[in-house]
Amino acid sequence: MSNDTVLVLVVITALCFDFTNGFHDTGNAMATSIATGALGPRTAVAISGVLNFVGAFLSLAVAATIASGLVDTGKVTLTVVAAGLAGGIIWNLLTWLLGIPSSSSHALIGGVIGSTMAAAGGSAVLWHGLVSKVVIPAVLSPVIAGLVAACGTWLLYRITRSLTDGARRHGFRIGQIGSACVVSLAHGTNDAQKTMGVITLALIANGTLAKGSNAPVWVITCCALAIALGTYIGGWRVIRTLGKGLVEIESPQGMAAESASAAVILLSSSFGYSLSTTHVATGSIIGTGIGKKGAEVRWNVAGRMATAWVFTLPSAAIVGATGYGIAYGVGGTIGVIVDLIILAALSGFIYWRSRATKVDHSNVNADWTGGVAPEQVPAEATAA
């Protein structure tokens, strides 16, 4: 009985994670379209939400990796999953507050691995699976995406060099709508599956599902809804960093970046690589900066992001392990509930902090002045 209570709590927490995943990552699909004016900010997040929902139904390969390829499912308990999710959510919210497009996937995977290690020791983690399916793709994917985007950008400018600038801008803005839609679809396909994988993991841990099962339909539907809602809310802070912070983007570059992201994400998900859509999108955007003569990449912003990427897995793991420690110390169902109360309190605090330097659809495209908070707002909190 108490196990069922915990299971319900875990599923709800997982869906909350999925929601943060959605709003943290809206920018991956839509930042460049919003930055070039191809789509209005609100239209962009609405379209992206719908396509994330559709995309979630497209593939189950990544969910399978998460559910069975990273940790020894026999050693995972519901408490472990709950603590791992808490780790993922907290890291996602912190990076969102700072406007850093870090990987939601790594936050989730880090959290789950941390809590598994705290519960059952390092031997319960399938290190080979972790390195070959998560760490190596994390290093390679932005490079591949950057390469594809740089080639694409060069080709687009080359082929349309006889067009007037106005015609080119106009044409590629239309094209960008299409490419942005495909990225949103790809995001739903790749990222919604991560939560599906975790819920499946919890159901297996609880004995509700047999080992090696696929995600049930209700899980897929709930995850699709959660990520779509999160996307619709829009993580304006991250959108701003990606769209305005890295490179000043023109519409051909936007289309090249989005096409590169979409292709790399969709191809990798179909191989079951749980790669980070964030890393791919960032790699693509930097690639378009490299592929266009005279474009300037703000490497200091890129460097800050890369630092956050390196820290994401271990930091989320530490939070996940701490969460497990607290839940284990208190014990039983109450332990999980205590964890979730702490999680809710911290989330509330982070949200309250974010109000001080609000970024929303109205100021998301304001000129980049060095930090995520546009200048007219008193900006001491996010500059750090």
Least separation in angstroms between CB 365 and other proteins: 20
The residue within the footprint of other proteins, chosen from 31, 108, 119, 182 (CB under 8 A), is 182
Cβ nearer to other proteins, comparing 24 with 168: 168
Q: Does 252 bind other proteins (CB under 8 A)?
A: yes
Least separation in angstroms between CB 376 and other proteins: 29
> Hey, which residues between 46 and 85 contact other proteins (CB under 8 A)?
58-61, 64, 68
Residues 249, 243 contacting (CB under 8 angstroms): yes
Q: Does 162 bind other proteins (CB under 8 A)?
A: yes
Number of residues located near other proteins, criterion CB under 8 A = 61
Cβ nearer to other proteins, comparing 83 with 185: 185
How many Å apart are CA 257 and CA 29, to the nearest integer?
10
Q: Does 189 bind other proteins (CB under 8 A)?
A: yes
How many Å apart are CA 9 and CA 255, to the nearest integer?
41
How many Å apart are CA 229 and CA 195, to the nearest integer?
14
How many Å apart are CA 95 and CA 313, to the nearest integer?
13
Applying CB under 8 A, the span of 77-85, 115-123, 178-186, 230-238 interacting with other proteins comes to 178-186
The residue within the footprint of other proteins, chosen from 125, 156, 192, 372 (CB under 8 A), is 156
Q: Does 212 bind other proteins (CB under 8 A)?
A: yes
Which x/- pattern over 253-272 shows residues binding other proteins (rule: CB under 8 A)? --xx--xxxxxx-xxxxxx-
> Hey, which residues between 98 and 137 contact other proteins (CB under 8 A)?
128, 131-132, 136
Chain position carrying tokens 């309190």: 345
Cβ nearer to other proteins, comparing 113 with 275: 275
Alpha helices, DSSP H, located in the chain = 2-36, 41-55, 61-68, 78-97, 104-120, 127-130, 136-159, 165-205, 217-233, 236-240, 251-270, 277-291, 299-330, 332-355
Least separation in angstroms between CB 200 and other proteins: 11
Closest CA to 223 of 31, 28, 57, 33: 57
How many Å apart are CA 311 and CA 102, to the nearest integer?
9
Least separation in angstroms between CB 10 and other proteins: 22
**What's the length of the chain?**
384
Least separation in angstroms between CB 157 and other proteins: 8
Closest CA to 335 of 8, 78, 75: 78
Using H for helix, E for strand and C for coil, what is the string for 124-136? HECHHHHHHHHHH
How many Å apart are CA 42 and CA 321, to the nearest integer?
38
Whole-Å CA distances, 177 to 7, 23, 67, 172, 376:
40, 19, 34, 9, 30
> Hey, which residues between 273 and 302 contact other proteins (CB under 8 A)?
273
Applying CB under 8 A, the span of 28-36, 211-219, 299-307, 376-384 interacting with other proteins comes to 211-219
Least separation in angstroms between CB 34 and other proteins: 19
Cβ nearer to other proteins, comparing 166 with 378: 166
Note the residues at the interface with other proteins (CB under 8 A): 58-61, 64, 68, 128, 131-132, 136, 140, 144-145, 147-149, 151-152, 155-156, 159-172, 175, 178-179, 182, 185, 189, 210-214, 252, 255-256, 259-264, 266-271, 273
